[in-house]
Chains A and B, each alone.
Chain A
Amino acid sequence: MTSVPNVVLKARAIRKVFKTGDTELEILHGVDLDLVAGERLALMGPSGAGKSTLLHVLGLLERPTAGTVDIDGRDAWSLTTLERAALRNRHLGFVFQFYHLVAELDAVENVMLPAMIAQSSSEFRRSKAAHLKKARDLLASFGLSERMKHRPTQLSGGERQRVALARALFLDPPLLIADEPTGNLDRDTGEKVLELLFRAQAERSLSLLLVTHDERLAERCGRVLRMEAGRIAGAKAEPASLAR
């Protein structure tokens, strides 16, 4: 008996058209994509192929012109703004190329930010000690024990990306979206960040959707999809487990 794989993300017929005056520019031409729990998927393609746009649509940051994105069994783009924000908060973790940490907060505070957004002041105050412990443990496990109270400007690029990774993992989301996570780091530093990323993904059985230009990095993912002119090229967009 074969177990049915748990689909974390299901995108169907995603189209995205940008309008500039009378001109319409179609960036995504009906993309289908599935991602199951614990899967590591790399999305590759030349610049302008629509990778980032697809990532933003799947990350619930940009509304598609047509198509559906199911996360946690719900059509995310048919939810209210509030429900979609909560879905983003609880089910998605983002790692950006340029870290995107809040400059006014120290490392621990940056890591706790998703919990601050998720909870009211009184709820957060009640669970603050637990949040602090969790944030410190995460940072310590990423080798940042000495950097807890440092602000982003006092951290190196690699350290900032590790803080950003800890922030993405803080609420234990089932899906991690990483956009060129090592694109702004040197080879050695990037490698260390990747090790942490893959280790966390494996330990937590997260689904990882990774956008990269790096072939060697893509090879370390279980599945690679290539985008060309707004379409998934060559391979099927569904995991092998589902294809069977």
Chain B
Amino acid sequence: MYRVFLSWRFLRRRRTNLIGVFGIFLAVGALILILSIMTGFLEETRRSARGSLSDLILTLPPYKDARRPREPGPILEAIRADPRVEGASAHLGWMCILTRQDESSLRILIDSQSSEIAGIKLTGVDANDEKGSTEFLESLDRVGRNKDGEIEYDSTVGRPRASVVVGEKVMAYHRLRRGSFITLMTAVPDPGSDTGWSAKKREFVVAGTFRSGENEIDLERVYVDREQLARFLAGASEDDPVPSDAILFSEVLVKLKDYSGEAEAVREELGASLYKAGLIDESCSLRTWEEFRGTLLGAIENERVLMGIMLSLILVVAGFTIFAILSMMVTEKRRDIGILTALGATPNGVLALFLLIGFWDALIGAISGAVIGTWMAIKIDPFERWLSDTFGVQIFNRDVYLFDSIPSVVTPLAVGLIVLGAFVCTLVFAAIPAWRAAHLDPVEALRND
């Protein structure tokens, strides 16, 4: 009885204990808040990456002597025949330089320190196929879609055959607007020329913008109709039929019905069946979107783990505070320990008494920290907006991350593990002074006077 009663009473009457409680509260709250935000960033980034990449990506280097179909049709047909596949679409990607008829393009090209992007990745897509294989159409928020999900171009621009949809960032950097004309320049293989390459240049009209939520894509990506891109690269005009030797596609995006459950199996089986059917060769690769974005996702995951480890140090500091406070208390309470022993307390009872003080510290600190940390993690966005408005300082720059709100995901398992960690840490640090208290010589304690 006395262990619970006295430990609680000692805790209440000694204000210094509040420092330890506050330390644990702060550590647990901060850990939950920061890890929730990092998890939110990770999930948001995964979602963005998935949106622009689809589930599986089949990359087919477009070289001339490849012994595989030149048209994407047979490959798309074979992939779509798999019952586990939701949809598939062909892409044609090519690196280009974007210029305008003004000085800004020159400035960007000659300024090596410029953060503005002149080089862009031109991606040829079949817009209607995209609906089945990626979330791309979801990203075309500025362009707008009709009820069938087709892209609706601005009526003032009409629907020119060679129109492009650019990332919001590209639009801003190059001071573009709908209807602006841009010139894209690139080089294509040309066995007939001396260098083996020839330059291509064409003017396109900007039909709209997209926002993927992934900075890299919104800065560098320009979408165009795949066949128009094939004509551009082959040197054919916009109204000509696509030349027979034109490069028609460089990758195929595949969306699965159950990515989390079947991705690996489909990747292996589909790759093998396409190879067996002669539709792909050794130069091709079939990867999941996570393998494609492995570096980025790995970096964020790494950052999350590092943050967790670093913030756990706060917990250790809080543990040290508990250790210091309890050590001080044991010294102050030498006489009381002697009295308790004289009245019949055992060394184990005294040990439990001081461990219980640590337990109360952990209980109050960890529970209040978990509640406030979770609440803060849930309400971080309005809280940040309130702070920014109140102090006139932008704390979270939404343009940098391309998130409309601070992403935050609270996982009960993480909260539980943090609270458990706080308990273990506190009890380990409390055990040292508690052990010292239990081994105090009662005679020495009582003789102190």
Interface residue A123 (Cβ < 8 Å from any Cβ of B) = yes
How far apart are the CA atoms of A88 and B447 in the complex, in Å?
18
- Which of B75-83, B338-346, B395-403, B421-429 sits within the interface? B338-346
When the two chains form their complex, are residues A97 and B343 in contact, meaning their CB atoms are under 8 A apart? no
How far apart are the CA atoms of A191 and B23 in the complex, in Å?
51
How far apart are the CA atoms of A34 and B315 in the complex, in Å?
57
Residues of A within 8 A of B10 (CB): 104
How far apart are the CA atoms of A207 and B1 in the complex, in Å?
29
Number of interface residues of B (CB under 8 A): 26
Interface residue A194 (Cβ < 8 Å from any Cβ of B) = no
User: Given A96-B446, A97-B449, A116-B2, are A61 and B341 neighbors across the interface (CB < 8 Å)?
Assistant: yes
How far apart are the CA atoms of A119 and B2 in the complex, in Å?
8
User: Given A104-B9, A116-B1, are A89 and B339 neighbors across the interface (CB < 8 Å)?
Assistant: no
Interface residue B414 (Cβ < 8 Å from any Cβ of A) = no
Min CB–CB distance A25 → chain B (angstroms) = 15
Interface flags for A140-160 (1: CB within 8 Å of B; 0: not) read 000000000000000000000
User: Given A56-B443, A61-B443, A102-B336, are A88 and B344 neighbors across the interface (CB < 8 Å)?
Assistant: yes
Q: Is the interface of A mostly helix, strand, loop or mixed?
A: helix
Min CB–CB distance A104 → chain B (angstroms) = 4
How far apart are the CA atoms of A118 and B345 in the complex, in Å?
8
When the two chains form their complex, are residues A104 and B343 in contact, meaning their CB atoms are under 8 A apart? no
- Which of A6-14, A66-74, A78-86, A221-229 sits within the interface? A78-86
User: Given A98-B449, A105-B9, are A117 and B345 neighbors across the interface (CB < 8 Å)?
Assistant: yes
Interface residue A213 (Cβ < 8 Å from any Cβ of B) = no
Residues of B within 8 A of A94 (CB): 342-343
How far apart are the CA atoms of A94 and B339 in the complex, in Å?
9
When the two chains form their complex, are residues B344 and A114 in contact, meaning their CB atoms are under 8 A apart? yes
Interface residue A90 (Cβ < 8 Å from any Cβ of B) = yes
Across the interface, B446 reaches (CB within 8 A) one of A100, A101, A123, namely A100
Interface residue B276 (Cβ < 8 Å from any Cβ of A) = no
Residues of A within 8 A of B9 (CB): 104-105
When the two chains form their complex, are residues B443 and A62 in contact, meaning their CB atoms are under 8 A apart? yes
Interface residue A174 (Cβ < 8 Å from any Cβ of B) = no
Interface of chain A residues 92 through 127 with chain B (CB within 8 A)? 94, 96-98, 100-105, 113-114, 116-121, 123-124
Interface residue A47 (Cβ < 8 Å from any Cβ of B) = no
Residues of A within 8 A of B343 (CB): 88-89, 94, 113-114, 117, 167
Min CB–CB distance B329 → chain A (angstroms) = 11
When the two chains form their complex, are residues B446 and A61 in contact, meaning their CB atoms are under 8 A apart? yes
When the two chains form their complex, are residues A104 and B13 in contact, meaning their CB atoms are under 8 A apart? yes
Interface flags for B306-343 (1: CB within 8 Å of A; 0: not) read 00000000000000000000000000000110111111
Residues of A within 8 A of B179 (CB): none
How far apart are the CA atoms of A102 and B353 in the complex, in Å?
14
Among residues of B, the one whose C-beta sits closest to the C-beta of A122 is: B1
When the two chains form their complex, are residues B344 and A86 in contact, meaning their CB atoms are under 8 A apart? yes
Interface residue B29 (Cβ < 8 Å from any Cβ of A) = no
How far apart are the CA atoms of A119 and B161 in the complex, in Å?
91
Residues of B within 8 A of A117 (CB): 1-2, 340, 343-345, 349
Residues of A within 8 A of B340 (CB): 113, 117
Interface residue B87 (Cβ < 8 Å from any Cβ of A) = no
Across the interface, A102 reaches (CB within 8 A) one of B6, B346, B349, B446, namely B6
When the two chains form their complex, are residues A89 and B1 in contact, meaning their CB atoms are under 8 A apart? no
How far apart are the CA atoms of A104 and B2 in the complex, in Å?
13
Interface residue A38 (Cβ < 8 Å from any Cβ of B) = no
How far apart are the CA atoms of A56 and B447 in the complex, in Å?
10
User: Given A98-B449, A100-B335, are A61 and B2 neighbors across the interface (CB < 8 Å)?
Assistant: no
Among residues of B, the one whose C-beta sits closest to the C-beta of A99 is: B339
Residues of B within 8 A of A121 (CB): 1, 4
How far apart are the CA atoms of A123 and B2 in the complex, in Å?
12
Among residues of B, the one whose C-beta sits closest to the C-beta of A83 is: B346
Min CB–CB distance A83 → chain B (angstroms) = 10
Residues of B within 8 A of A118 (CB): 344
Residues of B within 8 A of A56 (CB): 443
Min CB–CB distance A43 → chain B (angstroms) = 17
Residues of B within 8 A of A119 (CB): 1
When the two chains form their complex, are residues B449 and A116 in contact, meaning their CB atoms are under 8 A apart? no
How far apart are the CA atoms of A100 and B349 in the complex, in Å?
19
Interface residue A52 (Cβ < 8 Å from any Cβ of B) = yes
Interface residue A59 (Cβ < 8 Å from any Cβ of B) = yes
Min CB–CB distance B354 → chain A (angstroms) = 14
When the two chains form their complex, are residues B339 and A123 in contact, meaning their CB atoms are under 8 A apart? no
Interface of chain A residues 169 through 196 with chain B (CB within 8 A)? none
How far apart are the CA atoms of A97 and B338 in the complex, in Å?
14
Min CB–CB distance A134 → chain B (angstroms) = 16
Which positions in A face B, CB cutoff 8 Å? 52, 56, 59, 61-62, 81-82, 85-86, 88-90, 94, 96-98, 100-105, 113-114, 116-121, 123-124, 167
Task: Please give 6 more A-B residue pairs, beta carbons under 8 A apart, in addition to A85-B345, A100-B339, A103-B336.
Answer: A88-B343, A94-B342, A100-B335, A104-B9, A116-B6, A117-B1
**Can you list 6 contacts pairing A with B, beta carbon distance less than 8 Å?**
A89-B343, A100-B335, A100-B336, A104-B13, A116-B5, A117-B345
Instruction: Give the 7 A-B CB pairs with smallest separation, nearest first.
Output: A89-B344, A116-B2, A124-B1, A85-B346, A104-B13, A116-B1, A100-B339
